[in-house]
Amino acid sequence: LRQVPQTSPQNIVNFMCRLMQNFHGQMNLLKSEMERWKKSGAKVMMVASGAERVDRIKRVLADYHIDEPQIVDGNLQTGFELPGIHLVVITEGEMFTQKQRKARKVDKKIENAERIKNYQELKIGDYVVHVNHGIGKFVGIGTLEVGGIHKDYLHILYAGGDKLSVPIDQIDHVQKYVGSEEGKEPKVYKLGGADWNRVKSKARASVQDIADDLIKLYADRQATPGYAFNQDSNYQQEFEGMFPYEETSDQLRAIDEIKKDMEKSRPMDRLLCGDVGYGKTEVAIRAAFKAAIDGKQVAVLVPTTILAQQHYETFRERFSGYPFNIQVLSRFRSKKEQTETMKGIKNGTVDVVIGTHRLLSKDVQFKDLGLLIVDEEQRFGVSHKEKLKRLKTNVDVLTLTATPIPRTLHMSMLGVRDLSVIETPPENRFPVQTYVVEYSASLVREAIERELAREGQVYYLFNRVQGITQMADQISMLVPDARVTVAHGQMSEQELEKTILDFLDGEYDVLVSTSIIETGVDIPNVNTLIVHDADKMGLSQLYQLRGRVGRSNRIAYAYFTYQRDKVLTEVAEKRLQAIKEFTELGSGFKIAMRDLSIRGAGNLLGAEQHGFIASVGFDLYSQMLAEEIQKRKKELGGEAVQETKVWSTQLDIQLDAYIPGDYIYDSVQKIEIYKKVAAIQTLDEAMELEDELVDRFGDLPDAVQNLLTAARLKVYGALYGIEIISQKGLDYELKIHPDQNGNLDGQKLFQLSGEFENRIKLISGPQIHIELKGKGLKPEETIALLERFLVQYKRVLKSKGELQNVAK
């Protein structure tokens, strides 16, 4: 460490240790890796918890004729490889496919709003915004004892050395500070001063102006007459039935949302966000067929010529057997072919046209355009987007993207644009094994040789035309058996097309390329990606590149490299950390959220609002803006989100409910768990979280058990409209919300028998008093008794019929 004083801890870990890849039950892959480790002289150990699981591993290894390494009975969260000392450790979690947890069913609008909080972890030293006290610096979590009760607090440091301790159950009052610009430090406020309220008022005024502009855009869209497409015909059902794969649930939901929008009389403006290879194209094809069957023209706008050609082939194949004329307009077409296509677009004989920005030229005139599909909007420049706006008038628009740009995503989050998300991976798709590492020739050689050994191909991304040929020569010297070729944007169309097609046909093993492959041809045989100088690239760009591999049922590898001994900027480090962190399938939306966090939202409508975002932080600004938009939507009588009554229960009970440091030491993981506890809305979710905690950290201590009990009490309180559950000595009082007064049947309450007999009083308010004096119970036992009472509480509520009589 003395030799590299400026290297961050993260870089040191990356240099010393590689996390173990997941094998997802593919034992043949494990076998080949075991043989490779054996050849390199590495010692391999396997870890499993319990004798039964150790036996299971032994049986599986014997079945696949894999030499049995040392197997240890123990617990380890992840395996790792230490190349420096030739040690490899594999856990059973990496060997076998782990079962996916059940996804929570939540309202889509709520889910989108929550995501912005859930994907931002808090680290010591981060700036935070407390809604009531302003911007300060987060200095950690601490356990304090107040009146004999232990509780965890978030500690925030303000100007002048003032320190605020926020109870962990008020974590929703604290947001991570995200400004409008990268790397700019915010102003820290004094506790108790008037400055913060003044700044909030100014930001609120700015938000009202922007909300007016956004809502004008929204109102114009609502008022603009569009074409209402007919409902699905028999042809549509027949066409969809010809899809050779089974649709995922997310695909079906997105298709349904898009069709409903198309059938409305106002123009559609929907953003479809889904990972590369997750079936966005099929969703777009079905929308295109729906438009074409109604006699409307469809334009598909894509960023690259190669992608235009690929979409053209896909559309032609899917539309075969139907009388639709599909054409492509790109620089790969001759002048004569382009002229013919443009004539067909103008006179209506071309039904579907796929093209690059050439489609936006003035000489391209549509006879009756009904649907515009834009693939990867962020790849188009400002001038292209201005032309797009002109083309969008009165036309249904569907935008496809894997990682939406922050501005687009933000407008969708605010409800100004409609949003559909595809997060479910296709069958037999595995996450890409991602490594962020210092560049080394031995690593490159090992990665290429491993891919060639299974007869696969490799992308090597070198994002500079100058020096790209020398890099290809270096790779040829490193791996003499590899057939290496080069592709970049300065080659002629014919040369580039030939190179890509030759690589597609398996003529070459390694393609050394610039970022032109980012939205390029789908080649399932390419399952290793090496990116040179990854720290110089944007987050969504890195994610798109990684999506070029792992498009088959093989496990793929992505190596994001940076120069040895280079001190990374904070922003570059955050990006590389994010790409490493979000490796699971369906992370495109999360990556976009993190990009929003790193970069800020940008300019929504050209209004100068950066100063206001910087003054209160992006989350609070968004919250204010969403509230103002919601108000105006109601005034317009538009499609505002339906507000459902959600009861919130306050707990005032004497209970040690916190996460001890010896159970979860890491503050980032602690905050993650506290957020999950705060988000619990059903008893099933509480049970799922309990299973997850036991699975990840071991048996629950009493304090964590109490934390989950408190969460369940809040679920019951929300269910029955209980405002406050408070403790009075050894007794409890439940204050019922005024709106729920008439729902409580006092007679039924007093008929509760067993341990509650003669121990319940109904006092004004109304409040239920549960008397426990003289029972000699411990605090944990009294709380268990209170929970048992709440389980029975529904028996004391009036039925619907009784409530109707009361109303009469």
The pLDDT assigned to 566 comes to 67
Bigger pLDDT: 418 vs 643: 418
pLDDT band for position 422 (cuts 50, 70, 90): confident
- pLDDT at site 521: 64
* Model pLDDT, residue 511: 94
Residue 635 is predicted with a pLDDT of 67
Write the DSSP assignment of 172-236 as a string of letters. Answer: GGEEE---SSTTPPPPPPPTT-SHHHHHHHHHHHHHHHHHHHHHHHHHHHHHS----PPPP-HHH
Range among 267-276, 313-322, 331-340, 784-793 rated most confident: 313-322
The contacts of residue 375 (CB under 8 Å, 6+ apart) are 284, 300, 301, 302, 303, 307, 311, 400, 401, 519
Co-location of 385 and 253 in the same domain: yes
Identify the domain boundary among 43, 67, 95.
95
CATH code at position 656: 3.90.1150.50
The whole-number average pLDDT for the span 776-789 is: 77
What's the average model confidence in pLDDT over 178-194? 68
Same structural domain, 243 and 384 = yes
544 and 460 fall within a common domain: yes
According to DSSP, residue 415 is labeled T
pLDDT reading at 532 higher than 60: yes
Q: Is the pLDDT of residue 19 over 90?
A: no
In a domain, 144, yes or no: yes
Give the C-alpha separation, 349 to 325, whole Å. Answer: 7
Q: Is residue 555 part of a domain?
A: yes
- Whether residue 386 is found in the same domain as residue 305: yes
**Residue of 18, 137, 21 lying closest to 81 (CA atoms):** 18
Cα-Cα-Cα-Cα torsion 256, 259, 264, 268, nearest 10 degrees, comes to 100
Give domain status of residue 48, yes or no. Answer: yes
Burial class (CB in 10 A: 0-12, 13-18, 19+), 424: buried
Query: Which range, of 424-438, 472-486, 629-643, averages the lowest pLDDT?
Result: 629-643
In what side-by-side order are the strands of the sheet with 326-329?
326-329, 352-355, 297-301, 369-375, 396-401, 269-274, 418-422
Report whether pLDDT(494) > 70. yes
Q: Which of 95, 116, 141 is the last residue before a domain boundary?
A: 95
**pLDDT classification of 11: cutoffs 50, 70, 90:** very low
CATH code, domain carrying 139:
2.40.10.170
pLDDT, tens only, 242-271: 888 788 888 899 999 999 999 988 888 888
Residues 380, 509 within the same domain: no
> Nearest 5°: CA angle at 83, between 80 and 84?
125
Whether residue 795 sits in one domain with residue 773: yes
Q: Which two tokens stand for residue 248?
A: 């995922």
d(C-alpha 101, C-alpha 98), whole Å: 9
Domain membership flag for residue 220: no
Residue 591 belongs to a domain: no
Q: How many domains does the chain have?
A: 5
The answer on pLDDT for 471 being more than 80 is: yes
H/E stretch holding 301: strand 297-301
Confidence class for position 384, pLDDT limits 50, 70, 90: low
Which residues does 256 contact at the CB level (< 8 Å), separation at least 6?
Answer: none
Mean pLDDT of the chain: 76
Separation of alpha carbons 630 and 529, rounded Å: 45
Indicate the pLDDT class of residue 766, thresholds 50, 70 and 90: confident
Q: Which domain holds residue 247?
A: 234-422
Query: Do residues 202 and 259 share a domain?
Result: no
For 82-93, write each residue's pLDDT tens digit.
Answer: 877 888 999 887
The answer to whether residues 720 and 777 belong to one domain is yes
Judge if pTM exceeds 0.85.
no
Whether 266 and 182 share a structural domain? no
Distance, CA of 700 to CA of 658 (rounded, Å)? 11
- Domain assignment present for residue 285? The answer is yes
Integer Cα distance of 209 and 606 in angstroms: 12
Quick one: average pLDDT of 561-572? 71
Q: Is 305 helix (H, G, I), strand (E, B) or coil?
A: helix
| 478: confidence class by pLDDT, cuts 50, 70, 90 | very high
Q: Is the pLDDT of residue 598 over 50?
A: no
Is residue 603, in this structure, part of any structural domain at all? no
Angle (deg, nearest 10), helices 406-413 and 618-636: 50
The CATH number of whichever domain residue 390 belongs to comes to 3.40.50.300
Question: How many angstroms separate the CA atoms of 114 and 92, rounded?
Answer: 33
Residue 459: the pLDDT is: 94
The Cα 6–Cα 573 span in angstroms is 14
- Is 507 in contact with 559 (CB distance < 8 Å)? no
- Give the relative orientation of helices 280-293 and 234-241 as an angle to the nearest 10 degrees: 150
- Would residue 214 count as lying in a domain? no
Overall residue count recorded for the chain in this entry: 808
Q: 135 pairs with which residues across the strands? A: 129
Claim to verify: residue 390 and residue 443 sit in the same structural domain? no
Is the alpha carbon torsion for 64, 69, 72, 75 positive or negative?
A: negative
- Give whichever of 294-298, 378-382, 729-733 has the largest mean pLDDT: 294-298
**Given CA atoms 664, 670, 674, 679 in this order, what sign does their dihedral have?**
negative
Q: What is the 3-state secondary structure (H, E, C) of 223-276?
A: HCCCCCCCCCCHHHHHHHHCCCCCCCHHHHHHHHHHHHHHCCCCCCEEEEEECC
- Joined together, the tokens standing for residue 687 give 């049970």
Final residue of a domain: which of 574, 598, 619?
A: 574
State the pLDDT confidence band at 229, using cuts at 50, 70 and 90: very high
Q: Is the pLDDT assigned to residue 412 strictly greater than 60?
A: no
Residues 262 and 408 in one domain: yes
Distance, in Å, from the CA atom of 498 to the CA atom of 13, rounded to the nearest integer, reads 42
Q: What CATH number has the domain bearing residue 52?
A: 3.40.50
Claim to verify: residue 672 and residue 752 sit in the same structural domain: yes
State the Cα–Cα distance between residues 293 and 234, nearest whole angstrom.
11
